[in-house]
Structure 1
Amino acid sequence: MKSTPSTPDYLRRILNARVYDVASETPLEIARSTSSRIGNGVFLKREDTQPVFSFKLRGAYNKMAHLTPAQLKRGVICASAGNHAQGVAYSAARLGCRAKIVMPTTTPQVKIDAVAKFGGENVEIVLHGQSYSDAYLQAQKLEQKEKLTFVHPFDDPDVIAGQGTIGMEILRQFHEPSHGPIHAIFVAIGGGGLAAGVAAYVKQVRPNVKIIGVQTTDSHAMAASLKAGKRVQLHDVGLFADGTAVKLVGEETYRVCKQYLDEVVIVDTDAICAAIKDIYQDTRAIMEPSGAMALAGAKHYAAQHKLKNKNLVVVSCGANMNFDRLRFVAERAEVGEHKEALFAVTVPEERGSFRRFCSIIGPRNVTEFNYRIADAKAAHVFVGLQIQDQTDTKRIAANFKKHGFPATDLTENELAKTHIRYLVGGHSPLAQDELIYRFEFPERPGALMRFLESMHPNWNISLFHYRNHGADSGRILVGIQVPPKEMTAFKKFLLTLGYPYWDESNNPAYRMFLG
């Protein structure tokens, strides 16, 4: 497409980008273990090896390096709670300009410290608001008040061009005579800067190479926008992959992605956790969730299209992982890589049935086993079993049923994975008028107490489960005894609470083990 004043010539911009003043040409490495397991060549573009441990340095520096001396003298400003902030701070120190970085008050201290370290005396950190949106609005006010230049995290042609140098490097580094052609390049999408930059270069040089964007089930603004044919703003976004948690993609990134992207695939939290483990096993490096999203997408795409012996390039875009989140990742990786299946099995309360049930499991590795008598006739067993692949799950369930043990597959049941496995055995004849609700809230100081304080004083909590598992969102399961005449007040409470919630009162996992 011929460029006009309103359509930047990205090929020229990328070829002339100034990223190598600060950024390195990162390696393109084959992931041998993952390649062998999925039957395709998987190559990791190691952006986690940049000085700020993510690709964001490229776009931030390229934007700032193209500012006029007068603009640099006045200084720059950005809003961010993560990788972009570190890229701007690093660039400010290198260019000797003032940078004001607005971050939410909820930003982990490790990221605040990193911004201060990279920027030194050139950077002023302003903590404002509870979210990125709050910080962004404050940054816009300060931009006007102090005549600073805003460095956008994604929706800027110079930022997009900086990220596009990754695509240029991939095509230069990949050795086709040895491996054959690249089938597809996978990139994580938040606001779309990385995907737009890579796609704009690759599609103009090698139009036969597919560019596949990857988003999460709870932060899929680009996928929704491309489907609707216009930018769509999400009401809420998930917090696990915080680096790509964007409610509204950029105008320019949407335009470029609409023109060049071949497809966007959607992955869930468990698949991302499995991908983090995959990359660790191949490189001994620990990606942040957004940094492993592209691999999760590549695995999903390869399975969906039954690909074999194809070359898949994955942009491992960041490694700014909070250490506390690792326990959650480890816990969910087994399910995400389809190595664990969860079942609720009904066992007759008769002599020898428990032994017979165990013999059916046989030598298979048991990952979890919870038992509680249900009544005089039957008991329910919550069991986790190690499996080889997804087809194993159906075979196991069918085998249980064949031998007289009805089984419910709970492998994809979020309530079972998050709460029930820790609460099995909680039937109570005292839990009259009990409603079961699952809530999520941002994991920040005081949030749990605010939830408890908002409860109606006459409603008895008959069940409560909360576990801090290292994610950015807190999850609780609550049993609330609400008299029928107070249901109107209860529904009003749900609306005014302001947290996402799910009614789990009819969930089969709850009915079997707690109801």
Structure 2
Amino acid sequence: MTDMFKTAAQNATKAMREVFSATPLMRNDHLSEKYGADIWLKREDLSPVRSYKLRGAFNAMRKVIPEKTVFVCASAGNHAQGVAFMCSHFGVKGVIFMPVTTPQQKIQKTKMFGGAQVEVRLVGDYFDKTLTAAQEFCTAEGAHFLSPFDDDDVIEGQASVAVEIEEQLGRVPDHIILPVGGGGLSSGIYSYFGKSCDYTFVEPKGAPSLAGALAKGMPVDVSPINSFVDGAAVAKIGQRNFECLKDVDPKDVIDLAEDRICVTIIEMLNVEGIVLEPAGALSIEALGEVADQIKGKTVICVASGGNFDFERLPEVKERAQRYSGVKKYFILRMPQRPGALKEFLNILGPDDDICRFEYLKKSARNFGSVLIGIETRSPDSFAPFLSQLNEAGFTYTDITNDETLAQFVL
């Protein structure tokens, strides 16, 4: 990218210091030892709104104030909170459109950050209707629409993450791992550092917007998407963002299964006491995919956000256990005779725990179908367990990874 962009990003970063401090760049000993590299976390989860989104909002707003005094966005998450925070800072009006289905926790946090300056409007069950309503309001009221990523000033603002990394590390790192959704953060950092370092771009498996765009040579809609990694679950990368990223080598773009990301969320919470949202954990989980490339190198993982609703913790733990193989679900055909259940229970090992047991067909005369969940300490425990089941003549079906069936019975 041009020197002009770097200078603009540096100027934006200096202006931000009037509003909030630089987020920490912290070496992580646990990850460094695990992967044999010098691994640092850029802690965007420690910004005032627990994500990097306020950077782009700040830069885009400061460019048009005082000509514009009413700002509008459509968001159900971090972008809404970043815009709200900056509306309060600048003393301008913000109208934030959110889907009716948005969790109350996110609505309340947006209102908290915006205070009297922000009005929240709940419109539509799905985001496309919310976005349409926001854009129609902008046209009618002459307000300024703040895109979450497809905006030159937003990209420039997100590049401040790169400016801080260079200042805090004292040099350009060897390798940067970036989460990708709409492309605001990744295009900003990539535009700032250019070819001076190596990159890994990480997307959730259920929303590969950058990979899809690189394959077609233009932004494409990859719907339907999996919205679990809500901070990066975008169906179509931004046009401006793709212009910045179109020369990325497709080999440097990877995707990660949603359940796999949950393993990192739990690990970082239990081992490091760091609370990350699914999108914030993407770059850290990706370390396992590039372990051979990064040995001995200085690596930056951008932890993009920590807006995690702890009501989701049971689901995240469940997904992590299923992915790591320590929890499985079976439909078991149980003979309806005395002693059959006891026979089954005797097969369980000392580390095996029944976490779910439910008869699905209670009226069967000879056999009954049982939904059973087994949790154990090691995935290796299932091999002897299943072997004994087979020897005892039990018929079963492993439904752990059957997403369609799991929607109805798990």
2:242 to 226, 250, 254: 254
Aligned-partner Cα distance in 2 for 1:56–1:223: 23
Identify if the C-alpha distance between structure 1 residues 75 and 354 changes in structure 2 by more than 3 Å, giving closer, same or farther. closer
Aligned-partner Cα distance in 1 for 2:116–2:332: 65
Note the residue ranges of structure 2 that are not aligned, 5 or more in a row.
none
**Mapped contact 2:88–2:114 kept (Cα < 8 A):** yes
Note the residue ranges of structure 1 that are not aligned, 5 or more in a row.
4-8, 420-437, 439-464, 468-515
Identify if the C-alpha distance between structure 1 residues 47 and 217 changes in structure 2 by more than 3 Å, giving closer, same or farther. same
Q: CA offset at residue 283 of structure 1?
A: 3.4
Q: CA offset at residue 80 of structure 1?
A: 1.2
Identify if the C-alpha distance between structure 1 residues 402 and 23 changes in structure 2 by more than 3 Å, giving closer, same or farther. same
Give yes or no for the alignment of 1:240 onto 2:237: no
**Mapped contact 1:347–1:381 kept (Cα < 8 A):** no
Give yes or no for the alignment of 1:187 onto 2:187: no
Give yes or no for the alignment of 1:19 onto 2:16: yes
Select the structure of larger CA radius of gyration.
Answer: 1
Amino acid at match of 1:188: P
1:118 to 97, 108, 113: 113
Name 1:83's counterpart in structure 2: 78
How is 1:375-394 mapped onto 2 (pairs within 5 angstroms)? 382=372, 384=374, 386=376, 388=378, 392=380
**Mapped contact 2:347–2:388 kept (Cα < 8 A):** yes
Aligned-partner Cα distance in 2 for 1:369–1:93: 48
Name 1:46's counterpart in structure 2: 43
Q: CA offset at residue 145 of structure 1?
A: 1.4
Name 2:403's counterpart in structure 1: 414
Aligned-partner Cα distance in 1 for 2:76–2:70: 19
Equivalent residue of 2:305, what SS? coil
Identify if the C-alpha distance between structure 1 residues 67 and 334 changes in structure 2 by more than 3 Å, giving closer, same or farther. same
Q: CA offset at residue 253 of structure 1?
A: 0.6
Aligned-partner Cα distance in 2 for 1:332–1:300: 20
Equivalent residue of 1:16, what SS? helix
How is 1:332-411 mapped onto 2 (pairs within 5 angstroms)? 332-336=319-323, 338-342=324-328, 362-366=349-353, 368=355, 382=372, 384=374, 386=376, 388=378, 392=380, 411=400
Higher mean displacement: 116-125 or 359-368: 359-368
Aligned-partner Cα distance in 2 for 1:38–1:412: 29
Identity, % of aligned positions: 31
Aligned-partner Cα distance in 1 for 2:333–2:72: 63
Higher mean displacement: 190-199 or 110-119: 110-119
Amino acid at match of 1:21: E
How is 1:39-188 mapped onto 2 (pairs within 5 angstroms)? 40-71=37-68, 74-174=69-169, 182-188=173-179
CA-to-aligned-CA distance 1:130-189 (integer Å, 9 cap, x gap): 22221211121121211111111101111111111112222333378xxxx955322221
**Mapped contact 2:333–2:396 kept (Cα < 8 A):** no
Q: CA offset at residue 234 of structure 1?
A: 2.7
Equivalent residue of 1:313, what SS? strand
Aligned-partner Cα distance in 1 for 2:339–2:103: 54
Q: CA offset at residue 316 of structure 1?
A: 1.4
Aligned residues: CA RMSD? 3.6
Aligned-partner Cα distance in 2 for 1:191–1:173: 26
Amino acid at match of 2:166: L
How is 1:293-308 mapped onto 2 (pairs within 5 angstroms)? 293-302=282-291, 308=295
Name 2:277's counterpart in structure 1: 288
CA-to-aligned-CA distance 1:360-386 (integer Å, 9 cap, x gap): 765544465759899979998956353
Amino acid at match of 1:192: G
Number of aligned residue pairs: 402
Aligned-partner Cα distance in 2 for 1:339–1:311: 32
Q: Which has the higher contact order (CA 8 A, sep 6+)?
A: 2
Equivalent residue of 1:155, what SS? coil
Equivalent residue of 1:342, what SS? strand
**Mapped contact 1:183–1:311 kept (Cα < 8 A):** yes
CA-to-aligned-CA distance 1:50-77 (integer Å, 9 cap, x gap): 1111110111001111224222xx3221
Aligned-partner Cα distance in 1 for 2:235–2:176: 24
